[in-house]
Structure 1
Amino acid sequence: MLEYENEMFLSSMQEDGLTIAAKGLSMEKVILNMLKVYCDPGNLVLMLGCSDTEEQYFRGELEKDGCTYPPKKITTDVSTGERERVYREGGVLYITTRILVVDMLMERIPISLITGIIVTKAHRIMDSAQDSFILRLYRQKNKEGFIKAFSASPVSFSAGFCQVERVMKNLFIRHLHLWPRFQKTVATSLEVAQPEVVELHLQLTTKMKEIQTAVLEIISFTVKEVKRLNPHLLTEVLTVENTISKSFHKILQQELNPIWHQLSGKTRQLIQDLKTLRNLLVYLTQYDCITFYNLIAALRTAEMAINSSSGWVLLDSAETLFLASKERVFASIEPSKPKQARTENNKEKSDIEENPKWTIVSEILDEIKAEVKEYATDGSKDTVLIITKDDRTAGQVQDYLEIGAKALLNRMFNKVLGEKYGRREEGKQKEVKNKGQGKNSSAAPPVKNNTVRIVGKDSISGENKESEINLVIRGLDSGSYLENRALLHDIKPRFILLYDSDVTFVRQIEVYQANNPNLKTRVYFLMYKGSVEEQAYLTVIRREKEAFEKLIKDKATMVIPEDREGKTVDNDQLSRDPQKPSQILLESQNITSRKGGLNKPLVQSKVIVDMREFRSELPSLLHKRGIDIDPITLEVGDYILTPEICVERKSVSDLIGSLNNGRLYNQATSMSRFYERPMLLIEFDDKGSFSFQGKYYLSKDIQYSDIMAKLQLLTIHFPKLRILWSPSPHATAELFYELKQGRDQPDPKTAATLGVDIIDDFNSDKYNPQVRDFLAKLPGITTKNIFCILNNCENLLDLVQYTEEDLAKMLGSHQAAHQLYTALHDKIEVPETSTNQSKQNKKPVFKSRFKSKKKT
């Protein structure tokens, strides 16, 4: 380990805390060494927040080091009994948050025996209700175990008010450890052995400069329009410089989410246009002119100008953008010439603009081969690694090195624009495609005489013995940061070409060189001078530096209470009693003021929750209000508050989908049959509007009136169904608490046995659905007694022949029997009226007539 890695590891082990490090500083190595300490049957350590790639990486590295007790993973495939056995065996466990919450509530895992919890990606703790719930359950019953949190995203803590303090509060952590790139120990460790860096500042072509200027002007216009329409928005976030950043839209969305429903449709379209325009700037420097022109042509349509944009396509800058993009492909073609003339002109001249980075890559490879040939003595080949942003760019670089620029551009022209403008001559060299999985077909001899291998996709290798280097091309987006780091240590490249810049990978190169001081690495840094690409790279570094500076100031000024960790005295986060102190005192003395000081037994409030509901925040909030949670797989309802009250929770999106596919009708039928007070809870987002208005919830093809009309039909068909409207999960928890006051607690065994498929002889599937629906609409018929009628009557004629007494025995209610018998046997007679009588005076006359029972 490097010096700063060792110091980071020791500080994390000595005390519980939140460790925030800059991207690429190998925090995963610190966590790996921590796992080596705790991978023992005498410990029980839980890992939260790890992705599948990270879990595989930690497991593989531990097995390489000879770890005899590697981490285990618990998923839904592991049975309950097996999970309890794994918990007792100890060690390090990867476990899904939903399973862990349920096992903690059901006391299947010994919480008091847990050694500690390691939280990765701690910046997401505010968005993950389950992680916060787990930590609160853990700290309530375990005052000795540790909590150690890690994050490699300092920018995430710069948004919002006191973000780092709120994260530390949810983590039950008092200490904050910061490791920026400019930290003294980090800088000293990396400066011991640094790679040789060759910066190559390329010049944009004339047309590329025109396009970049035009797009920036459109972005400036769009930003001004957003500010003009919304003067209350934060101006420090909404700037032209920030719009070119990769994380701009994520940060902007966080700022706008609370007021998104208040924004006009034009404002939302302007924000979407900013994202489109930023993509144009990225594609300009990353892809070829043909791909870029094809994208621009898709934006220049009448539909786009009217419906899909805020009107920027009508600006003069947009016209410049369209013309310059076309001239990069058709520089010598006159639009007035016919198609045949244009085709012939295409064959005469190769006027397609070549990507400037291609030429530089070719020159660098020739320089490397000459150097290797001059100084190589043992006949070994050095590895050259070319880093691109994604696999598409990697494929273009590979094709360029194999068939040359002219053949590649002509092939792309024929593929994208050939049908419209005529095909072009691809050259003498023909591409041989790789056919068959696992077989590498022999391609034509590469123009640049290299052995090319793309990592992350199907490789195409050209075997050539006059070749001096092994060339590997890697798209960063094709794998995780751990896979990119592992690639450096596996192939140990002597030369690295950064075709596209990435801050995380640049730091990984620094760490790689510091760990291999004897390997003299040379890095070629390719970047367009004065371009948006350069500015975006510098903006990422600047924002990270500013985020760390803010965190340093916050650390120096923040006031942290002594009971923050909850190890000695329970803090507010661990409190579960929502009542007032006076009420708590009275109940602690087993006295109630409402009944004149009489003693009353204390009964713990309980709610039965469906297992699938633990993806939401509501179970955590109910538990925090002092209500015990009993997780069970329910077939009817989501929450059972009392023996009579069953609640089906729906978000707005779930409500729309359930109304459209009819699922809500079946759910309401089941709740109405088994519970006296079925309820439908419609829960809105606490960051959005508490209404259906606007386009925030409903799309253009779904109207507010459509949803309300379906809800009205639902309430008419199910008179017992009550609809609850809640603006947020916090309001729902308070509503449930009030509904449970003074009522009995639900029975888990009874709730678990109720289901549509447990009707036995009264199963509705064996009855005629038309007759059943008709019968359900008759007076006196309910969802509870309808199956009594269906089970005892062969047809409707048999039902008519029963007396009122027979119906009362069958239905179990004289009132229901009277209503049904009257509806079947009463006759309605309408007397004849003169034609001169007004329609307002027409009134029906009801005359009852008893019909004797007859057999047919």
Structure 2
Amino acid sequence: MLSYENQIMLDVIHEDGLVIAAKGLGLERVFVSILKVYSDPGNLVLVLGTSSKEEEYFISQLESLDVKPLPKVITSELSVNERQLVYLDGGVIFASSRILVTDFLLNRIPSEHITGILVYKAHKVVESGQEAFILRLFRIRNKTGFIKAFSSSPVSFTAGFCHVNRVMRSLFVRNLYLWPRFHKDVSDCLNQCKPEVIELQLKQTPAMLSIQTACLDLIHYSTKELKKTNPSLDLEDISVEAALSKSFHKILQLQLEPVWHQLSSKTRQLVADLKTLRTILVSLTQYDCITFYNIVSSLRKAENAIRNSGWLLLPSFDTLYLQAKIRVFGESDQDEPELEENPKWTALGDVLKEVRDEDKEKREEERCRVLIVAENERTCNQIKEFLDVGARNLLMRLFKKVFLKKQSNKNNEKEETVSNPRLIVHPLQVIADPFALTKLLYTYKPDTIIMYDADLSFVRQVEVYQATNCEIPVRVYFMIYNGSSEEQSYLTTLRREKEAYEMLIKEKATMVVPEEREGRTELNQDLMRDPRKASEQLGWGSSAGTRQGGGPEATEQPLVVVDMREFRSELPALIHRRGMDIYPITIEIGDYILTPNICVERKSLSDLIGSLQSGRLYNQAQAMCRYYSKPILLIEFEHGKPFALRGQYFFSSDSSYKTQDITARLQLLTLHFPKLKIIWSPSPYATAEIFEELKKKRPQPTPEAAASITSENQPEFSTERFNSSLHDFLLKLPGVTHKNVFALLNNVKNLAELCSLSQEEISELLKNSFQGKSLFDALHSPLTSESGASSSGKGSKRFGDKKGRWNTKKARS
């Protein structure tokens, strides 16, 4: 390990805290070292926030260090008993948040014996999330174990809900350790053994410069129109420079999502257009002239011209399209297309020629190992083709494939490329394996690295790689277009990280952290069950932490039975925080059982749309109405997003499902199931408060009863089994109540048989002589109309089916 890595590890082992390191500085190497320290059967250490690929990487690294015992991974494939044995064996354990939450709640983990918890990707921890829930449960039951958190995303702590103070509160840590690239210890360490960097400032062609200028003009027009159309919104951060950033669309999404349903169609289109224009700008430096021309020409369709916000009709777009066409066909008519070569290809060819010339004087084993890194897999494949067939042949192949579609399949077939064992082309980001490039760097051990695309994180990775392998003199060729949007985007990323650290440093200097923040005493209010209103928990109301008025509190501890699948959402954590106990179990009917009679099926907006389209919601409503007297459909919106069914629902997805479709199908659902109640909730916080109100002064559910209700069982008190008209008719007769109506429905076949029963038999069924006499008299006493005519109770057979039967299944047969 490097000296600053050792210092990071010593700091966090000595005292719990949150470590925020700059991207690429090797925080994963520190994490592996900490896992090594705690990999001992005498410890029980849980790891949160890791993906399966990250777990594989950490275990493989520890295995290469001959660490025993290796960390264990708990998955859903393990039974409850097997999981308990794994916990008792000790060591480091990786497990999903969903498994750990249920095991904590059901006391399957020996909480008092847990040595501590390590949190990876701490910037993703929010107070209503599963990780924060686990940490709360841990701190409630264990006051001595440690909590150590790590993150390599400083910018995340300065935006949205991830402010550092809020995250540290959810993590129950007091100390903040900041390690930017400009930290003295980091700079001194990495400067001792620096790679040789050759920066290649490439010039864009005249056509590329014209296209870039035109595209920036269109972005400026769109941002100006966005601000002009929405003067009431705070859009100061929306600028041309911000549009060049990779995270631009996410920033715009955070700002506009709460009021998205209130925005005009023009504003929505402007947001979509800004994303399109940024794609065009990135494609200019990323792809070849033919691919770029295809992207631009596809926008000139009639439907796009009608739908867009007006920039397709501006002279700047005409310039953009014309220059894109010139790059392919040239300015004058000619038989052969001009096919402008990518300047980076030329520079890459020159660099590789220089490397080959140097290798001629070396022995085979001493020749350079070259690593070329590019933005994505598509660019890497194009680089491989260029190295194999040359620029002109590659462009001609693409030209024939796109514009001469009648060429034979032989001409369109891709030739096999030859993969030189001393030259590897690899993408910067691999979604399937986040450590793919890191593993390649340390196993292949290149001495020549060509950065085809600029990436801040990989630049630091190369610095760390050189510092740990000083015996390998590393040469880096850094390729970037001078004065381009690519260069500006790289500089903007660097500036934002610097500003984020400056903000974090100032906040750390002025931060007032109470001594009880770590939750090792009973004074920490975050560990108390909070019964405040949702508005107060979110900071919208008073901060009173006690209930006021409303009569005496229930002596019985409130309990909610929760389906295991619901632990993917925030709601269980918020229910527990409000003071209600939750019992996780697999239940077939419903998601939440609040009382023996109240069953709730929770649907997010996306779930609701999918359930309505597939018909699944109909079956779920039918099952709830059959087995519970008070079924509820809960439609829950996300916190910070519009609480309205107006216009399109999602910020940037294909929302072909309109408001009218949802409301129409919900109307049909309520007409078909009149007993089904619908609750609309603006956020999980509000849902937890609603649940508390619904449970007041009502009996608690039992997990065994909730689990025993399945579609195969026939409930005793189910109105769905009976003719609804006869059910309602019986309830209108004297002596029949909601409590005894099922005694009649379950024991008497039809109205004819009911009329044939004696008064004593009816009283025995109803278990009440007064109610039995009232019903018997109603059925057998003559009724006199105004005209004096009389009618007997036998006329009641006309209700229901022809034979007066009320069991619908028997009637159908």
Same fold (TM over 0.5): yes
**1:383 alignment partner AA:** R
Equivalent residue in structure 1 for 2:487, among 534, 551, 558: 534
CA distance in 2, matches of 1:705, 1:405: 54
Q: How does 1:420-499 map to 2 (within 5 A)?
A: 433=415, 452=420, 470-478=422-430, 480-499=433-452
* Partner SS for 2:82: helix
Residue pair 2:532, 2:547 contacting (<8 A) in 1 also: no
CA distance in 2, matches of 1:545, 1:762: 66
Who is 2:397 aligned against?
Answer: 411
Equivalent residue in structure 1 for 2:755, among 804, 819, 823: 804
Deviation at 1:695, TM superposition (A): 2.3
CA distance in 1, matches of 2:37, 2:291: 52
Residue pair 1:452, 1:473 contacting (<8 A) in 2 also: no
CA distance in 2, matches of 1:521, 1:697: 47
Residue pair 2:203, 2:481 contacting (<8 A) in 1 also: yes
* Partner SS for 1:24: coil
Deviations for 1:724-773, whole angstroms, at most 9, x for unmatched residues? 22221111111211222212111111111011122399999xxxxxxx99
**1:53 alignment partner AA:** K
Deviation at 1:718, TM superposition (A): 2.9
Residue pair 1:130, 1:620 contacting (<8 A) in 2 also: yes
| Residue identity (%) | 51
- Structure 1 residues 149 and 594: alpha-carbon distance in aligned structure 2, compared to 1, 3 A threshold: closer
- Larger mean CA deviation between 751-760 and 49-58 belongs to 751-760
- Larger mean CA deviation between 159-168 and 184-193 belongs to 159-168
Residue pair 1:118, 1:149 contacting (<8 A) in 2 also: yes
- Structure 1 residues 215 and 585: alpha-carbon distance in aligned structure 2, compared to 1, 3 A threshold: closer
Equivalent residue in structure 1 for 2:638, among 682, 685, 692: 685
Who is 1:276 aligned against?
Answer: 276
Equivalent residue in structure 1 for 2:692, among 737, 745, 760: 737
- Larger mean CA deviation between 5-14 and 679-688 belongs to 679-688
- Structure 1 residues 512 and 579: alpha-carbon distance in aligned structure 2, compared to 1, 3 A threshold: closer
- Structure 1 residues 128 and 513: alpha-carbon distance in aligned structure 2, compared to 1, 3 A threshold: farther
Deviations for 1:163-204, whole angstroms, at most 9, x for unmatched residues? 110011111111000000000000000000111111111110
Residue pair 1:775, 1:786 contacting (<8 A) in 2 also: no
Who is 2:98 aligned against?
Answer: 98
* Partner SS for 2:480: strand
Equivalent residue in structure 1 for 2:575, among 622, 627, 631: 622
**1:630 alignment partner AA:** Y
Q: How does 1:30-45 map to 2 (within 5 A)?
A: 30-45=30-45
CA distance in 2, matches of 1:778, 1:325: 75
CA distance in 1, matches of 2:280, 2:217: 13
Residue pair 2:289, 2:342 contacting (<8 A) in 1 also: yes
Q: How does 1:592-603 map to 2 (within 5 A)?
A: 602-603=555-556
- Structure 1 residues 149 and 734: alpha-carbon distance in aligned structure 2, compared to 1, 3 A threshold: same
CA distance in 1, matches of 2:368, 2:267: 54
Is 1:559–2:476 an aligned residue pair?
no
Who is 2:733 aligned against?
Answer: none
Deviations for 1:92-128, whole angstroms, at most 9, x for unmatched residues? 1110111110110000101111111111111111286
* Partner SS for 1:329: helix
Who is 1:401 aligned against?
Answer: 387
CA distance in 2, matches of 1:380, 1:585: 74
CA distance in 2, matches of 1:615, 1:721: 25
Deviation at 1:517, TM superposition (A): 1.2
Q: RMSD of aligned C-alpha atoms?
A: 3.8
Deviation at 1:680, TM superposition (A): 1.9
Equivalent residue in structure 2 for 1:508, among 453, 461, 464: 461
Deviations for 1:540-583, whole angstroms, at most 9, x for unmatched residues? 111111111111011111111111111123312111152799x9
- Larger mean CA deviation between 536-545 and 565-574 belongs to 565-574
* Equivalent residues, number: 769
Who is 2:536 aligned against?
Answer: none
CA distance in 1, matches of 2:347, 2:757: 96
Residue pair 2:752, 2:794 contacting (<8 A) in 1 also: no
Deviations for 1:627-663, whole angstroms, at most 9, x for unmatched residues? 1111111111211111222222222232233333332
Who is 1:358 aligned against?
Answer: 345
Residue pair 2:5, 2:30 contacting (<8 A) in 1 also: yes
Deviation at 1:602, TM superposition (A): 2.9
- Structure 1 residues 704 and 471: alpha-carbon distance in aligned structure 2, compared to 1, 3 A threshold: closer
Deviation at 1:265, TM superposition (A): 2.1
- Structure 1 residues 240 and 63: alpha-carbon distance in aligned structure 2, compared to 1, 3 A threshold: same
- Structure 1 residues 78 and 364: alpha-carbon distance in aligned structure 2, compared to 1, 3 A threshold: same
Q: How does 1:778-797 map to 2 (within 5 A)?
A: 778-780=726-728
Q: How does 1:676-715 map to 2 (within 5 A)?
A: 676-696=629-649, 701-715=656-670
Is 1:367–2:362 an aligned residue pair?
no
Deviation at 1:230, TM superposition (A): 1.7
Who is 1:312 aligned against?
Answer: 311
CA distance in 2, matches of 1:520, 1:317: 48
Deviation at 1:689, TM superposition (A): 2.6
* Partner SS for 1:11: helix
CA distance in 1, matches of 2:161, 2:684: 21
Who is 2:24 aligned against?
Answer: 24
Residue pair 1:328, 1:352 contacting (<8 A) in 2 also: yes
CA distance in 2, matches of 1:288, 1:756: 59
CA distance in 2, matches of 1:693, 1:760: 40
Deviations for 1:784-821, whole angstroms, at most 9, x for unmatched residues? 9999999999xxxx9686553479989967999x99xx
CA distance in 2, matches of 1:299, 1:846: 82
**2:182 alignment partner AA:** F
- Larger mean CA deviation between 605-614 and 97-106 belongs to 605-614
CA distance in 1, matches of 2:61, 2:725: 67
CA distance in 2, matches of 1:426, 1:717: 61
Who is 1:4 aligned against?
Answer: 4
CA distance in 2, matches of 1:661, 1:432: 42
Equivalent residue in structure 1 for 2:676, among 705, 710, 721: 721
Residue pair 1:350, 1:406 contacting (<8 A) in 2 also: no
Residue pair 1:762, 1:787 contacting (<8 A) in 2 also: yes
- Larger mean CA deviation between 612-621 and 79-88 belongs to 612-621
CA distance in 2, matches of 1:38, 1:211: 56
CA distance in 1, matches of 2:364, 2:359: 11
Unaligned runs of 5+ in 2: 534-541, 731-737, 783-788, 804-813
- Structure 1 residues 774 and 656: alpha-carbon distance in aligned structure 2, compared to 1, 3 A threshold: farther
Who is 1:388 aligned against?
Answer: 374
* Partner SS for 1:386: strand
* Partner SS for 1:201: strand
Residue pair 2:143, 2:519 contacting (<8 A) in 1 also: yes
Deviation at 1:135, TM superposition (A): 0.7
CA distance in 1, matches of 2:258, 2:401: 46
- Structure 1 residues 785 and 512: alpha-carbon distance in aligned structure 2, compared to 1, 3 A threshold: farther
Residue pair 1:757, 1:763 contacting (<8 A) in 2 also: no
Deviations for 1:443-475, whole angstroms, at most 9, x for unmatched residues? 6xx7xxxx636xxxxxxxxxxxxxxxx211111
Residue pair 1:673, 1:784 contacting (<8 A) in 2 also: no
Residue pair 1:785, 1:811 contacting (<8 A) in 2 also: no
Who is 2:711 aligned against?
Answer: 756
Deviation at 1:214, TM superposition (A): 0.6
- Structure 1 residues 575 and 726: alpha-carbon distance in aligned structure 2, compared to 1, 3 A threshold: same
CA distance in 2, matches of 1:389, 1:132: 34
Q: How does 1:634-673 map to 2 (within 5 A)?
A: 634-673=587-626
Who is 1:324 aligned against?
Answer: 323
- Structure 1 residues 127 and 350: alpha-carbon distance in aligned structure 2, compared to 1, 3 A threshold: farther
* Partner SS for 1:198: strand
Who is 1:211 aligned against?
Answer: 211
Deviation at 1:264, TM superposition (A): 2.0
CA distance in 1, matches of 2:741, 2:456: 69
**1:737 alignment partner AA:** E
CA distance in 2, matches of 1:674, 1:527: 66
